[in-house]
Amino acid sequence: MTVLGALYRVRQFTLALGAHFAGDGADHLETCLGEPQLQLYRQMSSMDQRHCLATYRALRDGGHADPSLLCAALLHDAGKTLGPVRIWHRVGAVLARALAPSLWARARGKPGSLLYPWYVHWQHAALGAELARQAGSSSEVVWLVAHHEDQTPPVDGDQRMNRLLAALQAADRVN
């Protein structure tokens, strides 16, 4: 992990510790999300809601107006609701990914088991994409949620979707 990466994680952890969500500034979500997607958003922890809303705002304030991109920003971490993924799971995941990537890649567990939250954290993009699909999200939103953790864009992806994915990933990284 680079020094900048470590500083980013420290910032993210500090923000997470102080995260609370009282709907502040989120009254416009109903215009972006349908009722099933809004319910999915509301199931996320206050920390994840704050992060997703900050990601959304960064995109919107950066001039992005694509509805699929903005919806994906609000839902991209919805898979973490299946854990539950707590702050100490996130810290452990960051450390395991950086210090023991092979151990991280083997993180598995059944619902209710000690390892399950790490599995959810590791697979949250795919799990969140399925939740978004079940909530009636468009195929573009589902695709963006599914790929938001990818290190490289899919080779066979269309250029427009790859540009939207790159924008989502950039906003996700800084929030």
**Mind listing the pLDDT tens digit of every residue in the chain (175 residues)?**
544 444 444 555 555 555 444 444 555 688 889 999 999 999 999 999 999 999 999 999 999 999 999 999 999 999 999 987 888 888 887 787 788 888 766 766 777 777 788 888 889 999 999 999 999 999 999 999 999 999 887 777 689 999 999 999 999 999 9
Q: What is the Cα–Cα distance from 86 to 11, expressed in whole angstroms? A: 17
Range of the domain at 100: 3-174
> Could you tell me the CATH number of the domain that includes residue 60?
1.10.3210
pLDDT of residue 111: 76
Query: For the chain, how many structural domains are there in total?
Result: 1
CA-CA distances (angstroms) from residue 61 to 12, 55, 65, 79, 164? 20, 10, 9, 25, 15
